[in-house]
Chains A and B, each alone.
Chain A
Amino acid sequence: MDFKEWFCLKERESFIIDPQINELDGKYYFGQANIKQKIERQLRHSFVSTVPKLQLFGQYGSGKTQMLYHIRHILLNNPPSTLKLKPHISMLTIEMKSKSNHQDLHLQLMEGLGKGAVSEWVGSIAKKGLNLEEELRKIFSDDNVVQALVKLIVGGIDFVAWRWLAGQDLSNKELEQLRVTRNLGQIGAAAMVDELVGIGRLAEMLGEKIIFLIDESERFLNVNTPDAQNSLEDYFRELSENKNNSIGFIVAGTARGVEEAARFLVSEAVLTRMGRQNIILIPPIPTLDDVKSFVTQMLSEIIDKNQAELAIKENSLAITLETYPFNTDSFDLLCEYASQEPTKALPRNIISAVNECAITAWDEKKRNIDSTIVTEIAPLVFE
């Protein structure tokens, strides 16, 4: 019998919830009902007239990545009624170095969208038998962008066009080939955002709504040159403007509050445009009852109830189905440990503690997790 069978796990090898490994785990968001409701509300409202422009902050292990995957799950499987188009979701983990600037951000967003998707949108307009250049000019005010998009579906030059659209610097010869007058990022962030917003409109014409889910925004703190920071602020400010109603973005990063975030992500100019209600802090799980509710929900989702019922009966375990594989005492003890130090009552810690307790029980060939195991494991995780 393997670990999975031993603990009657449903479709998983361990108690770890990790949507980065198992995409289906995105459907879970345990506990923190108020945060979940707040985010769902903001999503619902945002699609009425514009797109979601949200920033999530929380300390390490507070469940930000899980929330991003959960949002993705909601948008794909149970979207708010206000979202009328098919969501085109691009998830990316941002990379920022000391001198990274608006060009690096734009490149990552464009690569997140993908050459294939943008080419397909341009190609779909062309296939309608319309004059492509004319149609694109209705969306894009910059003729250079129009020229590059047209070339995106022309074999032989499509990669040069994509590099231009993604904001990479091209040689004079390549610029001539594309029939554009300058590189995209040359005159600042606004031109790049305008292009991206235009691509968003193009996607909308074809029934899709672009939404970026951006993780690890604390990496913006790596940027330490003032020019680069200013250019990134420009990019975010432009993206947060009301005129952008075609590119949604939800950014998540480690910070205990806005004061710990990169200043250009939460500058007055950005915050007033995004709306302060769209800055959401995910705190640790506040009370003992909340921790209990978190663990109960988690166990209820990942344990195969029928198998567990059988295991309880066959092994005469003095435990209830609700807390399986913990008995009542060990369940209470674990939750108490988790809620002792408020800053440590984090989803990552709680999940890890449950998994470590189970591995210890497995090592000791125990079918249930008793208080001795919790006493041994919990200090390693929570102290």
Chain B
Amino acid sequence: MTTFPTTVRQLPCVNILTDRIVEKFLIRLNILDNCVTDLYIVSPVLGTLADTGLPLEQLRRILRVRKIKTYLVTQSPNTELTKKAPGHTLALNILKDLDLIEIRFNDNLHAKVYLCQCKKSEDSFALLGSANLTWTSIVKNIEIGVLIKCFSSGEPIIHELNSWFQSRLRTNSSIYKSMVAPKN
């Protein structure tokens, strides 16, 4: 087991994850039944997450049924990186039919951030690390991430991440699919 300095491990609002980290984030999201309002995914490459704890098809159902507003920023399907990832276009196709999703492309994107906003702000959480939203990053790669919970000193971090996403990343990424009001 990897050990980290006591100071980091003892911070109640922070967990360092080293194993199946994106999967853990998604499962946490799934557990928070009806609490989640907004989901931000920043991942240069996407995959269908087949054979993981929460395949993308299942995630899409959760997002649709719970009416979670989802904001995705990723690379376009024709970059050097995404051309090598066959799941990228498949994943975009799975997600783009959702009404409440906004998809943006930014080919300079390297950051990986996942943020889940909840009705009660203290339930919100974010994952900041090296992992893409892909099967490889969950099952094969050595990845590391910090799960930040929205209380104590975690609260301003999540707030800052939210602001970075809203004010910087979105306006610097080109729109691929806009959010539309769901048809009743």
Contact = CB atoms under 8 A, between A and B. Distances in A.
A342 interface: no
A360 B178 contact: yes
Interface string A1-34: 0110000000011101010110000000000000
A3 B168 CA distance: 9
Q: On chain A, which size bracket covers the interface?
A: 20 to 34
A12 B166 CA distance: 12
Given A13-B168, A216-B121, A355-B166, 13 more contacts: A2-B172, A3-B172, A20-B159, A21-B163, A60-B119, A219-B122, A360-B178, A362-B171, A363-B178, A376-B178, A379-B181, A380-B69, A383-B181
Interface residues of B, number: 24
Contacts of A12: 167
B155 A93 contact: yes
Interface in B160-184: 160, 163, 166-168, 170-172, 174-175, 178-181
Contacts of B119: 60
Query: Do most interface residues of chain B lie in helix, strand or loop, or is the interface mixed?
Result: helix
Interface of A: 2-3, 12-14, 16, 18, 20-21, 60, 93, 95, 216, 219, 355, 359-360, 362-363, 376, 379-380, 383
A26 B172 CA distance: 27
B160 A21 contact: yes
Contacts of B156: 20
Interface of B: 69, 100, 119, 121-122, 151-152, 155-156, 159-160, 163, 166-168, 170-172, 174-175, 178-181
A168 B170 CA distance: 45
Given A95-B152, A216-B121, A13 B167 contact: yes
Contacts of B160: 21
Nearest to A95: B151
A21 B151 CA distance: 16
Contacts of B178: 360, 363, 376
Contact of A359 (B100, B163, B171): B171
Contact of B159 (A13, A21, A379): A21
Best-surrounded residue of A219, A355, A359, A379 (most CB of chain B within 10 A): A359
